[in-house]
Structure 1
Amino acid sequence: MTWFDKATLLVTGLTALYMIWRFTQDLRSGTRPSRSALSYITSFAVLLVSGLLLIALGYGVLSHPLVVVVASLIPVTLSAGLVAEYAPVQARTYDLFAVVGLLALAVTRFAGPRPLAIATLIVVHGVAGLIIFGLPLWLAAQRRAPGRFAWVGVGGALIGVGGIALAFLKAGKPILSADTIFLILAPLLLAMTASFAAGFLGSGTPSGRS
C-alpha cells in the first residue's frame, strides 16, 4: 500500500467520522427516524474502522474471512436504513433478509465450500447494492427527495463495482488484475463515501416517505 492510498483512506475515514457525527445529531434531534439514523451510524462506523484497518495492516487484511463479514455490514446496514426511512412497510422483511444474509455469510466464510461462500457474498451484496443504488435515484426522480439525494445512488453504484471486483478476485476469476483493483480501491472508497455524504447532506428532511 502506497502513502497515497493511506492518505486517501485517511480522508475517507475523516469523512465517515463526520457523517457519524451528523447522523448522531439527526438521532438526537429526531430529524430522521431513530432506526434509520442508527443504521447509517453503524454503516459509517464500520467504514471508518475498515479504513483504519487497511491503513494499519494493508490490503492483505481483506483475505481474512472475518473482515469480509464485517465489511458486509456497510452495504447491509446502509440499505436497511434506507428501507426503514423510505419504505417502512417493507422494513421488517428486509431486516430479516439482512440478518439471515449476514449469518449465512459468516457460516459459509468459515465452514462452507468456497463456491457457496462466493455466491452468498454476491447475493447479499447484490441485493443491498441494488437498494442503495436504485431507491435514492427513484425517490429523486419522483421528487420524493431532493435531487441531490441521487448522489447516494451513485455511491451505491461505486460500492457495487468494488464489491463485485473483489468477489470475482476471491473466486479466482478477476474482472481486473489484483494490481489494478488495489490501485483503484482507495480512490473508489473515497469517491463512494463522498457520494454518500453529498447525497445525505443534500437531502435535508425528505418528505413523502411511504
Structure 2
Amino acid sequence: MAQMGRPRTFDRDAAITQAMHLFWEHGYDSTSLSQLKANMGSGISAPSFYAAFGSKEALFKEVMERYLNTHGRVTESLLDTALPPRDAIELAMRRSARMQCEPDHPRGCLVALGLLSACSPETVAICAPLAAARARNRAGFLACVERGMASSELTAQTDAAALATLFESFLLGLTTLARDGVPHAVLDASVTQAMSAWDAMRSDKA
C-alpha cells in the first residue's frame, strides 16, 4: 500500500498573508526566498515551499490576487456610477489613506509601491497586475471627472485629464507619506484640501 505524503505543517492561507506583508514591506526583488521561508508560518523547508507555491513568482501572483481582492478594493468607489462623482473620488482617497496607515500590515499601498519595486525587466512583467490596477484607478478618476462635466457640476472649461491626473498623483503620493510615518489624521485632512481642486471647477461657484 502506498504511503501517504507528509501533511503540511503550516497554514497556507496565513502563509500567503505573511508573504504579502514581506513583499509589501520590501518589494519583489528585495524579498529573498530565504526571507520568505523563514517568515512563513514558523518556518518552511525549501521542498515544502516549492510543493505549496511552485516558485517565488507564482507565490507573488497569489499575493497580488489576495491584495487586490482585499486592501486594494479601497478605490472601488471610483467605478461606482451610483455615487456622485465627487463623492466617489473623495471616498476612494479617504479609504486609501486610512488603509495605508492601519497597524496590522506595512504602511503604504502595494499598488503604488509596485512602481518603486519594479527594478528589473522580469519584475516589470511580474508586477503587471499592479500596473493594471493603477490603470483602472486612472481610468476611474477620469470617468468621475467626465461624469461631473456631463452633469454640468463641473464647468465645460475643466481640463478633465489634468484634474484626473492631479487626483491620481495625490493618491500615489499618499504612499510615500504613509511610509514616512505621517499620521492618518494629517493624510485625511489633506484629502479635504485636495478636493478643493474639484470645487474650484464647479459650475455653480459664486
- For normalisation by structure 1, the TM-score amounts to 0.28
Larger radius of gyration: 2
Larger fraction in helix: 1
**TM-score of the superposition, structure 2-length normalised?**
0.29
